[in-house]
């Protein structure tokens, strides 16, 4: 497995754990906020998650970025 894919997997796992904890804390706090503020926070979080998903999937599926993987040290 190339080093860049391993690092990408590790970054994704750490980011997913952080986002999970952040969303859990956000949901716990939104119960004390007005409904509009909770919906706004969740919609911004969903938008950020969507953008991150698109960037990561583009990086993983882009064959032009993998031209260094064919070289062996």
Structural domain contains residue 72: no
Tens-digit pLDDT string for the chain (73 aa):
677 787 888 888 888 888 888 887 777 777 776 666 667 777 888 888 898 898 888 888 877 766 666 665 5
Structural domain contains residue 35: yes
DSSP 70: T
Structural domain contains residue 54: yes
**Domain range holding 44?**
3-61
Distance (Å, rounded) from C-alpha 17 to C-alpha 73?
33
Number of domains into which the chain is organized: 1
Q: How many angstroms separate the Cα of 73 from the Cα of each of 2, 21, 22, 52, 54? A: 11, 39, 40, 32, 31
Structural domain contains residue 44: yes
């Amino acid at each position: 497995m190339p080093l860049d894919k391993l690092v990408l997997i590790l970054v994704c796992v750490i980011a997913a754990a952080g986002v999970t904890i952040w969303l859990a804390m956000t949901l716990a706090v939104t119960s004390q906020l007005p409904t509009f503020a909770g919906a706004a926070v969740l919609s911004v979080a969903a938008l950020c998650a969507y953008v991150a998903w698109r960037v990561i999937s583009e990086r993983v599926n882009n064959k032009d970025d993998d031209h260094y993987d064919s070289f062996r040290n």
